[in-house]
Structure 1
Amino acid sequence: MASPINTAVMKLKLRAERSTRDHLIQTFVDVDPLLTLLQTEDHQILYGRRGTGKTHALEYLASDRDDAGDLPLYLDMRLIGSSGGLYSDPNIPLAERATRLLVDTLQAVHEQMLNTVVEQDDVFDGSIVFPLLDNYLEAASQVVVSGVVTSESGAQGKSTRTKGAALTAGIKKIPEAQLSLNIGDALEEQVNYKRTQTGGGKHRVHFGTLNRCLLSLCKSLQGKRVWGLLDEWSEIPLDLQPFLADLIRRSLMTVPLITVKIGAIEQRTNFRVADGATSYIGVEVGADMTANTNLDDFMVFDNDQAKASEFFENLIYKHLKSELPEGYLDSTKPSQDLLRRMFTQSSNTFGEFVRAAEGVPRDAINILIMSAQLALDDPISIPNIRVAAKRWFQQGKEQALRDSKTTALLRWIIDEVIAHRQAKAFLMRSDAKHPIIEMLFDARILHIVKKGVSSNETPGVRYDVYGIDYGCYVDLMNTVKAPKGLFEASKLEGESGFVDVPATDYRSIRRAILDIERFEEAQTI
């Protein structure tokens, strides 16, 4: 029989999309100044790895903007359309895949706006708004993409476009690909085409009618700002992302009363591709959309243990308070009373839990659930935390590494950094991008602890500090092989030793730098 607290822990929902919006609002923990940045009217990308809270933040923002009198439209990009695997199927021409994605997204925007107008009929004048919504839907349904697909076969195709008709997709001449929105006279042509490996480059989009419809529609919404919140962007196939980004840039982002926010995983995005020497398809990050909100940076807590502890104390309390019997906790300090009851030697055990979470809320909740399963009727102990962290690492992270080279690099890093150096972090040049390191970071096995570290040995060169996940070395805790700190360095004042909280400048960090070339050389032998 489990204790009331452990029973409540084991009932926690693991993913935000499985929760109601009311539950997400009740359990949201702000990391200052995250919400303030998201409330700006700038078009913005919210980056963050899986489990860092992008969905939670965007759902909370939607509720916040609704309370402020605006019109938020939250779209889960995994649920756009009803075409199953059509978007990612390489056997379907790129033209058809892109067209369906663009139209389905615009229609999803229309559906949400229509539902809002119907629900708030006391606010909106339906006799004005409904015809404008119809005009917008008609313009959206006439988007046409035509272009080259990439495989080696020959066939015949027929392209038909009729004024006012529904969606059509056609294949035009090789080797150029064109993306266009056409509203015009009837046109039918029979063409012979060959699908090649080279693919096409150019595209053109004409959004005049669509923009006019959107402008008229927004003006009819009683001054409400429309917030387009596009979550799970990284689930869109990479080759289609620039097409959808271009549509958003040329339609939604050109309307003054529309703000667009996109939730994405940085390592799985493709917002822009070149279209000739001076133009591009998609959005330019930093110019068209800001990217100043990265949850991976926010959740590092600047290596401030007190700040991290405060966040996870609030996270646990907000998730569990509604699941516990009324009056169970001390009403004066309920969150602190919860920790006292939940953990043995509450401060030490809770501190171990915070370290094991590595700043990732989803990892924290999974480790907590597994710890409660181990503890049952007893308070959660440090051994429970360590066993749970190891299990979660093996089941939730390590098994996801299907690529043999990625697994080999992880084993090499563990041996090189943890076993030989007795450290739990290493440094890499900030300007050196290694795809497997990024893959391990995306899998939450590596964590960026600090950016922009410098050394007197290499003036002008900056390094990023990568921490190795707690689950990689938890077995070594309380042994002679346990890590002695983050990494070894010589400080500016001349002291040498292991660093627990990384500074910005050092006299020497030579022993902490990871030389990936040594791994690459070993792989070629």
Structure 2
Amino acid sequence: MFNVHDEGIKNTIEKLSNIIRAENIDNSNYVELYAGEEINKINNIKNQIIYGRRGTGKTHLLKALQETLVESFDKEAYLPIYIDLRKLLPLISDSENNPTYYAVIMFKYIIQEIIDSIIENISFICKLNEWEEKVFVGKIRTEVTELLKDLNYEFNGYSIKKIGDIQLSEEETKRLSGSLKLSLNPEGSLDAKKQSHKTVTSQETKYISFAEISNIVSKLPLKFHITRVFCLLDEWSEIPINVQPYLAELLKRGFITSKYTFKIAAITTRAKVGFKTENKYLGMEDGGDVFGFPLDNRYVFEINKQTTRDFFNELLYKHLSDISDEIKIEFRGDKLNRAKNNFINLYFANQALREILIASAGIPRDFINLFINAYDKFLLNNSGNKRIGVKDIRMATIDWYETDKKEEVDSNIYAKKLLEKIVNEIIIKKKKTHFLIPEKYSNEPHLQKLIDLRVVHLRKKGYSHKGVSGVSFNVYSVDYGCYTVLNIHQPKLDTDLISQIDIIDNFREIRRVALGDDFFNEFLLEVGEGFNCPFCNKPVNTNHLAYQKQGLCNNCFERLSNAS
């Protein structure tokens, strides 16, 4: 008989925290631990951007795809190269951080990583035994070295004229174009020399020939009979957002006509791979050069209860059974089939399961952390209950907010102010968790920050109802772990108030729970990002492009004399 109080179960759940982050999973376990069908949906030759907030499983998905491609290499000859872009970020001060300069450096580092990975895995790619490796690696190194000489030539020169009209000094260029090393033990090519020094700029200008670079990099797979190279770029959003379109443009020019596929993992609110100029589209164009693949909102309980439950059931079973041989033994044969359907119910009472699926907001990492914390509360309560209850879930969400989210929210003053206003209006006054905001406010920067911090969740786009014709809304929910820690009317809201809050699991009940113009205008005035227009007397949003670019009121579009 399965017993959640069992010491073996306790020990298993204690170890679960070791594999919350994909970086801590053993190299051979990514596919085995992955829940859902997303691997199949990105296992193709299209360039894709995998969008998702932190904790949605972007890194795990890339690693699982890498493992899948390696396992099928003999059949398809698709070589996956995983690159964590955080380790390639150059050391450039703000004064030197023009986007094209930064992008060229990143572009060169990515090429370096690709070359290093191919050389490091020569034996695997070419299926060489130890004797063949000694005989043939020297020949392969010689051939690749010739290619690198051509590639280095394209990066060398006294200065480089890049996408725009920005020139680099001679000293900067020397540091930028340090040799692309060829090594069986890959190492960074520039090390601490990534920082630049100011010198006089030479008059001689050399253009990077992307036709030549593309020609050179396209020869690399052919040398090793590789059908296609999959470049799995993780942590794209760590690159400054003003640099991202320029790097995307470089990747497009250098690789898009060759046998390379790019899978890019990026945080939804901190990614920008292109923009339209007067003459062309700079970067990668969504739907043409690259295709978006969103992880956010794939498993939202309010939208699809059964799919969400099944996903987290599979996630929990795979992670716990990977740790515990006892669980594998307990659930096998017919029991295994039942476990695939009902494993999660062994841990949660029905109402508690509903609440953790809502509280997790479709984010696997949040679900696992809430599960660990709720189980700990369950044991501490020592109530004799057989399964985790609602009270355990609610206390776990409070702790999870305190440890994972509160500090970042507190450090963003205006975002915190907006969250306090939302909680006061939605939670305190209306006793709801879900609400509507007109779609025109979807790019409001402080709202976007709250979504990025996972304290406000975007549940559904393009929602409309008969009460307000002609207006499209988005549906949001408040992370209820934050109800008790914001200083609204008292330091902490008591659990009686939490029990009064209507944690809905459908959208029919929110038609009258909306935050509109009055709410956001008041917020802009409170935080000093708005002032009353002398013409229409409505608050001017100083973040609006009409005001920033042309000095116009974003309501009546009259020109304002006090515009910056």
Shift of 1:435: 0.6
Q: Taking structure 1 as reference, are residues 132 and 280 closer, same or farther at Cα in structure 2, changes over 3 Å only?
A: farther
Q: In 1, distance between residues paired with 2:139 and 2:439?
A: 54
Aligned residue number for residue 418 of structure 1 = 427
Q: Secondary structure at the match of 2:94?
A: coil
Note closer, same or farther for the CA distance 1:3–1:479 as it changes in structure 2 (3 Å cut). farther
Q: Is the 8 A contact 1:330 1:337 kept in 2?
A: no
Q: How far, CA to CA, are the matches of 1:19 and 1:260 in structure 2?
A: 23
Deviation digits for residues 138-178 of structure 1, max 9, x if unmatched? Answer: 44444367579xxxxxxx9645879x97369xxxxxxxxxx
Letter in 2 for 1:37: K
SS in 1 for 2:481: helix
How much has 1:478 moved relative to structure 2? 5.5
For residues 107-126 of structure 1, the aligned pairs below 5 Å read 107-122=112-127
C-alpha RMSD over aligned residues:
3.5
What's the counterpart of residue 68 of structure 1? Answer: 72
Q: CA-to-partner distance for each residue in 1:99-125, whole Å, 9 max, x for gaps?
A: 432221110111112222233332798
* Whole-Å separation in 1 of the counterparts to 2:413 and 2:199: 48
Q: Please list the CA deviations of residues 466-490 of structure 1 after superposition, one character each: whole Å capped at 9, or x if unmatched.
A: 111131347666648723354xxxx
Flag the 1:190–1:310 CA change in 2: closer, same or farther, 3 A.
closer
Offset, 1:318: 0.7
Q: Please tell me whether the aligned partners of residues 301 and 309 of structure 2 are also in contact (alpha carbons under 8 angstroms).
A: no
**Aligned AA (1:62):** Q
Residue matched to 2:232: 229
Q: Distance in 1 between matches of 2:289 and 2:499?
A: 50
Amino acid across the alignment from 1:72? P
Conserved 8 A contact 1:51-1:362: yes
Structure 1 position 454 matched with structure 2 position 464: yes
Matches within 5 A, 1:12-161: 12=16, 13-30=19-36, 32=37, 34-69=38-73, 70-80=78-88, 86-87=91-92, 89-92=93-96, 94=98, 97-122=102-127, 130-141=141-152, 142-143=154-155, 146=160, 158=170
Give 1:9's aligned residue: 13
Q: Hey, what does 1:272 align to over in structure 2?
A: 274
Match of 2:324 in 1: 324
Q: 1:93 to 1:363 in 2, by over 3 A?
A: closer
- Structure 1 residue 226, shift from structure 2 partner: 1.3
Aligned equivalent of 1:259: 261
Measure the CA separation in 1 of the matches of 2:211 and 2:389: 63
Question: Which residue, 511, 514, 530 being the options, matches 1:512?
Answer: 514
> How many residues matched?
461
User: CA separation of 1:28/1:372 partners in 2, compared to 1, >3 Å: closer, same or farther?
Assistant: same
| 2:14–2:372 CA contact under 8 A, matched in 1 | yes
**8 Å CA contact 1:16, 1:55 repeated in 2:** yes
- Measured in 2, the distance between the counterparts of 1:6 and 1:147 equals 61
1:340–1:467: structure 2 CA closer, same or farther, 3 Å change rule? closer
Distance 1:509 1:284, change over 3 A: same
How far 1:232 sits from its partner (Å)?
0.7
Paired with 1:17 and 1:314, the residues of 2 have a C-alpha distance of 20
What amino acid is aligned across from residue 348 of structure 1 in structure 2? Answer: Q
Structure 1 distance, partners of 2:227, 2:58, is 24
Stretches of structure 2 lacking an aligned partner (at least 5 in a row): 163-167, 181-197, 485-492, 532-564
Q: Work out the CA distance in 1 between the residues paired with 2:498 and 2:171.
A: 72
**2:465 maps to amino acid:** S
1:483 equivalenced with 2:501 (yes/no): yes
Distance change >3 Å, CA 301–CA 71, structure 1 → 2? farther
CA–CA distance in 2 between the matches of 1:459 and 1:133? 64
Q: Which residue of 2 aligns with 1:242?
A: 245
Q: CA deviation at 1:233?
A: 0.4
Is 1:212 aligned with 2:215? yes
- SS of 1:422's equivalent? coil
How far, CA to CA, are the matches of 1:213 and 1:77 in structure 2? 23
Counterpart amino acid of residue 516 in structure 1: F
Partner of 1:349: 352
**TM superposition shift of 1:306:** 1.9
Q: 1:157 to 1:166 in 2, by over 3 A?
A: closer
The 8 Å contact of residues 432 and 502 in structure 2, kept in 1 or not, is answered as yes
| Correspondence 1:398-417 to 2 at 5 A | 398-401=406-409, 402-417=411-426
Q: Which amino acid aligns with 2:85?
A: M
**Helix, strand or coil for the counterpart of 1:254?**
coil
Amino acid at match of 1:446: V
Q: Which moved more, 1:246-255 or 1:469-478?
A: 469-478
Residue number in structure 2 paired with 1:185 = none
Q: Say whether the 8 Å CA contact 1:52–1:360 is kept in structure 2.
A: yes
- Pick the aligned partner of 1:435 from 427, 442, 445: 445
List, as ranges, runs of 4+ consecutive aligned residues in structure 1 with deviation greater than 6 Å: none
Q: Deviations over 1:43-82 (max 9, x none)?
A: 111100000011111111112222232111111111237x
Displacement of 1:501: 1.6
Structure-1-length-normalised TM-score? 0.78
1:17 Cα deviation from its structure 2 partner? 1.6
SS in 2 for 1:464: strand
CA shift for structure 1 position 137: 3.5
Answer yes or no: is 1:300 the counterpart of 2:300. yes
| Contact persistence 1:444–1:469 (CA under 8 A) | yes
Residue of 476, 488, 505 corresponding to 1:466: 476
Larger helix percent: 2
Cα contact 1:349–1:381 (8 A) shared by 2: yes
2: CA distance, partners of 1:166 / 1:192: 18
- Aligned-residue sequence identity (percent) comes to 26
- Specify whether residues 14 and 480 from structure 1 end up closer, same or farther in structure 2 by C-alpha distance, changes over 3 A only: closer
Change (3 A) 1:470 1:160: closer
**Contact 1:10 1:373 (8 Å CA) reproduced:** no
Unaligned 5+ segments in structure 1 are 149-155, 169-188, 194-202, 487-499
Cα distance change, pair 510–226 in 1 and its aligned pair in 2 (3 A): same
Aligned partner letter, 1:218? P
Say whether the 8 Å CA contact 1:329–1:337 is kept in structure 2. no
Alignment correspondent of 1:368? 371
